[in-house]
Amino acid sequence: MDAESEGATQVTQIVIQINFKNMSYCSYIQTLNDEQNVHKVYHDNHYGFPIEDDDELFCRLVLEINQAGLSWTTILNKQETFRKAYHNFNIKKVAGYKEKDVERLLGDAGIIRNKLKVNAAIENARTILLLQKEFGSFKKWLDHHHPKTREEWTKLFKKTFKFTGGEIVNEFLMSTGYLPGAHDANCSIYKKLMKSKPAWSSKK
């Protein structure tokens, strides 16, 4: 399976990834009693909220790419070992990875040991360095192209990055506030989200 085909297997909604049909992610979270559950922490504090830091944007892109074909629960449970393995997602460091680093990552059971995904992280880090040079930051590149439809974003990402199928692009942009849909309007986090002023809530 090539990168685009694997990327295409990722489902649109996290709710499907966790096998709760006819239930939104927000509704699923309400069924949880554990405040420390990885999904609740992510939903309440990260999902859909703007990210200002380029390394953290890169982190989210890498995690979304690695989720392709797997459950988001798996990725959330491995996020700290991902951080350690990828030098806290320092773009410059990852862009400078050599073959020995690829071998190290492929031998790390704490992450997803998929060579296509590992290589995509490295190539995408190098691409982001070029975008930073031209636009000032990865964030400014995203802001420069906002707003776009999901289809327009997908076309742009496929042209710019590796391993970025439509669902990966959709989840990355929805999770970072560039596309709507992360939270239901009646979600307890919705007002908090809107106060953070996600990009989708205001048009140029």
Confidence of residue 13 (pLDDT cuts 50, 70, 90): very low
> For 155-172, what is the mean pLDDT?
97
> For 157-182, what is the mean pLDDT?
97
What is the rounded average pLDDT for all residues in the chain? 91
Which residues, at least 6 apart from 50, have a Cβ–Cβ distance to it below 8 Å?
Answer: 176, 177, 196, 197, 198, 199
Helix (H) or strand (E) holding 29: helix 25-30
> For 100-125, what is the mean pLDDT?
98
For residue 5, pLDDT beyond 60: no
Residue range 142-163, pLDDT digits in tens: 999 999 999 999 999 999 999 9
Active site residue 28: no
CA angle 182, 183, 186 (to 5 degrees): 165
For residue 72, pLDDT beyond 50: yes
Catalytic residue (choose from 6, 64, 167, 171) = 64
Catalytic residue (choose from 25, 42, 47, 141) = 42
> For 91-104, what is the mean pLDDT?
98
> For 16-38, what is the mean pLDDT?
78
Print burial letters for 36-67: b (CB count within 10 Å at least 16), e (below 16). eeebbebbbeebbbbbeebbbbbbbbbbbbbb
| Single pTM value for the model | 0.89
CB atoms within 10 A of CB 102: 15
CA end-to-end distance (rounded Å), the chain: 39
Active site residue 72: yes
Which residues, at least 6 apart from 165, have a Cβ–Cβ distance to it below 8 Å?
Answer: 3, 4, 5, 6, 7, 8, 10, 68, 154, 158
What is residue 158's predicted lDDT score, i.e. its pLDDT?
A: 98
Confidence of residue 89 (pLDDT cuts 50, 70, 90): very high
133: number of CA atoms within 13 Å, CB side?
8
What is residue 35's predicted lDDT score, i.e. its pLDDT?
A: 84
Active site residue 99: no
Residue bearing tokens 């439809």 = 149
What is residue 22's predicted lDDT score, i.e. its pLDDT?
A: 67
CA dist 77 and 111 (Å) reads 10
For residue 6, pLDDT beyond 50: no
The dihedrals phi and psi of 187, each to the nearest 5 degrees, come to -70, 145
> For 85-107, what is the mean pLDDT?
98
In order of start, what are the domains of the chain with their CATH numbers?
18-201 (1.10.340.30)
Catalytic residue (choose from 6, 25, 47, 72) = 72
Confidence of residue 204 (pLDDT cuts 50, 70, 90): low
